[in-house]
Structure 1
Amino acid sequence: MDKPVICIGAALVDELYAANHPMLMSTTNDATVHRSAGGVARNIAHQLALLGIPVQLISVFGNDGEGDWLKTICGYVNIQLDAAITNHSLTGKYTGILNYDRSLFTALLTNTSLDSLSPQYLQQHETLLATAFTIIADANIDTDSVAWLAQFCQRKNIPLIVEPVSVPPAQKFAKMNLQGVHLITPNEDELPAMCSNGGKTIEENAQEILDRGVEKIWLHRGKKG
């Protein structure tokens, strides 16, 4: 494959703090921390690069040590960053707090810098985007940017895949015209969140998404496949 897959969205530092003993509220808890490179778009780009597929990642990195670390990891697997942004904010971070039994207690996300991936910014990089075999956008970016990508991909006959990420960002699509989106990849929680009336059956929710313009749905059903 000569044409790249272009991934657009989050590149984050993931930190998981796991309590070494049962959690005590309103005081200090001894914990073990694990740090890894994350962000949905970056994770997808990383896996594709490991398969030998040419990849471009359009994301936002902070001008800090953690941003440099993420870019170094991208370089290790040959992810190209020709249209990535480095700004003066801190690199986005996902921080998960795990109970002693390793269940999730809570999680925090800082990722406001992705507002920089606006339709105006994407338009500046039309030449690069037009080279894509496929464009994959995660739902961390603004819906205006997804709408611009849908129109662009429809015009250029490039498949656009949208990954909803989780329920809160998926909810942004509840009333959005999805014409021009080739594929969405929700799980069972994200699918109803993307619909205008999320209380319906899986089949009814899927039909609503198709009626709003999506060509295909790849539904992840956990243990059910």
Structure 2
Amino acid sequence: MTHTPDILCIGSVLWDIIGRGDTVMRQGSDMPGRISRLPGGVALNIAMALARFGLSPALISAVGRDPEGDELIAACKLRGLHTDHVYRSDDLPTDRYMAVEGTNGLIAAIADAHSLEAAGDKILRPFEDGSLPTPYRGAVALDGNLTLDLLSQMARSPLLEHADLRVAPASPGKAQRLTPFLQAERGTLYVNLEEAGLLCQATFDNSRDAATALLSRGAVRAVVTDGGNPATVGAPSGLITQNPPPVSVTRVTGAGDTFMAAHIAAEIKGAAPDAALTQALSAAAQYVSGETKI
């Protein structure tokens, strides 16, 4: 693929290993179910969803030069993703994510993105060697699996000063890694209610209050979701709040990434703010209900 990508997806590209049971599960549960291995990671999940919405994404990440890495890169290419800018490490293994889900949602998960963190700013070489235009002026989806130092560097980098930055924390445990984007007043933040609370060091009852607080702390724009409860897009021009469609939940891992990708794709294609939020909520609902193929 030699054509210019529509968007760069920077962050984790790994294998998702997901165990799903068809009953309610608690800590210590030992239930029958199915275990799957699929291409995953926040950046890759977003890229795959963007491709389903008709865009052409390119990945910026670190993948081991091991059999798992070769298989992962091949899987990305099959899904129509640009992989030429992925840093391939000779001494770091391909990262993995493991989760257990029941009918009551996510029970537990461990994200092993140590190779991505160890690679550090090596993943940004395409911005420095002429592989990508600089300063970059296109859309960029960025996830919080990068180190705080690297995210801080990117929040203030002149290479991304004119980019349309869309930033997600990857998980509540990494939410505070997005603080540099609040401080630099750059980028659109995509967070859930818990992540918004961690960023603001507060507790919120709803997405509207959370979006308002994020704006007051320096966010250029904030998109806050709350599962099956109303979601809000907050900007200096005002707040837009909508209810997601009611659906039966069959999976949760990757739902936030699908929402973010659908929202970005809708806006890139020129949708108005309220229509973009409607499309994103609909896409996420279809995903969690199992209607969307991965």
> What is the TM-score when the length of structure 2 is the normalising length?
0.64
Aligned to 2:8: 6
Matches of residues 146-157 of structure 1 in structure 2 within 5 Å?
Answer: 146-152=151-157, 156-157=161-162
Aligned residue pairs total 223
Matches of residues 67-216 of structure 1 in structure 2 within 5 Å?
Answer: 67-87=69-89, 88-98=91-101, 103-119=105-121, 121-122=123-124, 125-126=127-128, 127=130, 128=132, 130=134, 131-152=136-157, 156-174=161-179, 177-195=182-200, 197-199=201-203, 205-216=210-221
Aligned to 2:268: none
How well do the aligned residues superpose, as a CA RMSD in angstroms? 3.3
Amino acid at match of 1:162: V
- Between the aligned partners of 1:183 and 1:13, the Cα distance in structure 2 is 27
Match of 2:17 among 7, 15, 18: 15
- Between the aligned partners of 1:215 and 1:166, the Cα distance in structure 2 is 21
- Between the aligned partners of 1:178 and 1:211, the Cα distance in structure 2 is 11
Amino acid at match of 2:92: S
* 1:54 corresponds to 2:56: yes
Relative distance call for 1:124 and 1:57 in structure 2 (3 A) is closer
Q: Which runs of 5+ in 1 are unaligned?
A: none
The answer on whether the counterparts of 1:55 and 1:79 sit within 8 Å (CA) in structure 2 is yes
Name the structure, 1 or 2, with higher relative contact order (CA <8 Å, separation 6+): 1
- Between the aligned partners of 2:123 and 2:101, the Cα distance in structure 1 is 37
| Deviations 1:147-180 (CA, angstroms, capped at 9, x unpaired) | 2222236864111110122210103335765325
| Deviations 1:37-65 (CA, angstroms, capped at 9, x unpaired) | 11010011112123332221011112222
Relative distance call for 1:74 and 1:153 in structure 2 (3 A) is farther
- Between the aligned partners of 2:195 and 2:152, the Cα distance in structure 1 is 19
Q: Which runs of 5+ in 2 are unaligned?
A: 231-242, 244-294
- Between the aligned partners of 1:109 and 1:62, the Cα distance in structure 2 is 16
Relative distance call for 1:81 and 1:155 in structure 2 (3 A) is closer
Provide the secondary structure at the position in 2 that maps to 1:15.
strand
